[in-house]
Amino acid sequence: MNRTVWPGTTRPESDVMVGLMSGTSLDGISAAVVRFHEDAMGVISQNLLAFVQHSYTPAFRARLAAAMTGASPAEYARLDFEMGAHLADAAVAVIAEAGIARADIAAVASHGHTVWHDPPNATWQFGQSAVIAERVGLPVISDFRVRDVATGGQGAPLVPIADALLFAAPDYWRALQNLGGIGNISIVPPSGVASGVASGGAQLGAVRAFDTGPGVCVIDGVTRILRPDLPYDRDGILGRSGDPVVDVVDALLTDPFFTAEPPKSTGRELFTPAYIESFIAKCRAARKGCSDADVVASAVLLTARSIALAFRRFVNEPVADLLLSGGGARNPALFNAIEREVGAVKPAAGFARIRIRRFDDICFDGDAKEAVAFALLGWLHLKGRAGNVRSATGARGARVLGNYTPA
């Protein structure tokens, strides 16, 4: 191992990283310990050593949700530090699960939690890196989105570089759809092409990615309003038993976001509590006797049809399969709706139809995927390599992402 020393530290270089991700679903933190390896040809691989999920209390989740619609400066400052403490706890837990010495870990790579995302004007993630560094005793790389936005990019999605380097299919084009609070898709070439990315090749320009719209944020939002005893539609029971109000869904899909050309990103700034309340009201007004299950089924269809719409309008590559990850991939109603909607999209020449599978079926637990992706972004930062995919974010140039906080 090349034992270099980073400025301001005495820690030798390592290929083991901790990745932390708090997503827009507001359910908690995903934490992963990952070892990366780069071969002589510049091909990067990963070994997931441990993965844990750190759940938020209902009270903390409610405070995060409220902060996205407006809070006091005092509340913002406290949440920033408290989120740092939550992230540190998750890091400590996953390191213990991995059974690896902290001296053998290069750094913690923390996405934090996005409280506001308004490219190209600003992006803001909670989770003070200094709090994590103090509590965990490791260097921290954080604020990954900021540099891309400062370079004229969307600051999102950032996962595509992991999709291309780590999860591409060997000999065909693949789509990877994340279903967190917000949905985002990566279209990646075969690994035989993408491998050129690792060694600085120009093939990264072949990767495309963008936000497709809601993942589970609308589904979860209407479920929590209609059934306050449920944090989400468990096992898709409501979504599977309801009859969607198709006219409402199709009308909402005319929103400029869905018709805008990529690169593009969105968040809870669009799919606000007011949006969710209006969604329920529109479903009730459009159909006499519209049940709670019908409203949830309509939210499911909104996500599924938005993905199919993205395929029809923006995906020209010969995609052979679609891998679903994130919490929404575990919702049978949503999985089945995506199968129907995307399955109706005309396949590329030579393929009977786009095959749809869960990420878990071919790799590891899909809930760990974004934590692994940010671990990779942290690893790239330490190597001095760019982490943004310009064709995905629209940035003016490739940039090393993240800010470094020493232990």
Q: Mind listing the pLDDT tens digit for each residue in 48-85?
A: 999 999 999 999 999 998 998 889 999 999 999 999 99
* Predicted confidence band of residue 403 (pLDDT cuts 50, 70, 90): very high
pLDDT of residue 3: 38
Q: At what angle do helices 217-226 and 273-286 cross, to 10 degrees?
A: 70
**Averaged pLDDT for residues 193-221:** 76
Domains of the chain: 16-155+367-405 (3.30.420.40), 168-361 (3.30.420.40)
Q: Quick one: what percent of the chain has pLDDT higher than 90?
A: 84
Whole-number Cα distances in Å, 2 to 8, 15, 173, 240: 18, 10, 34, 54
**Taking 60 as the threshold, does the pLDDT of residue 195 lie above it?**
no
The pTM score is 0.91
pLDDT digits (tens, 9 = 90+) for 5-34: 444 444 547 899 999 999 888 889 999 999
Angle, alpha carbons 39-45-49 (nearest 5°): 125
Contact 162, 363 (CB under 8 A): no
- Does residue 199 carry a pLDDT above 60? no
pLDDT of residue 41: 85
Give pLDDT, residue 298. 98
Work out the pLDDT band at 349, boundaries 50, 70, 90: low
From residue 174, give the alpha-carbon distance in Å to each of 303, 306, 357, 406. Answer: 20, 18, 11, 38
Averaged pLDDT of the chain? 92
Checking if the pLDDT of 119 tops 50, the result is yes
Q: Indicate left, alpha or beta for 322 from its phi (over 0: left) and psi (-120 to 50: alpha).
A: beta
Residue 3's Cβ-side half-sphere holds a number of Cα atoms within 13 Å equal to 4
Both tokens assigned to 1: 């191992």
- Mean pLDDT (whole number) for 236-242: 97
| Band of pLDDT at residue 204, cut at 50, 70 and 90 | confident
Mean pLDDT of 266-278: 93
pLDDT class for 261, splitting at 50, 70, 90? very high
Query: For residues 242 and 293, is the Cβ–Cβ distance under 8 A?
Result: yes
Residue 201 pLDDT more than 50? no
pLDDT tens sequence across 312-346: 999 999 999 999 999 999 999 999 999 999 988 87
What pLDDT band is residue 351 in, cutting at 50, 70 and 90?
A: low
Confidence of residue 353 (pLDDT cuts 50, 70, 90): confident
Model confidence pLDDT, tens digit, residues 90-118: 999 999 999 999 999 999 999 999 999 99
The backbone region for 349, taken as left when phi is positive above 0, alpha when psi lies in -120 to 50, beta otherwise, is: beta
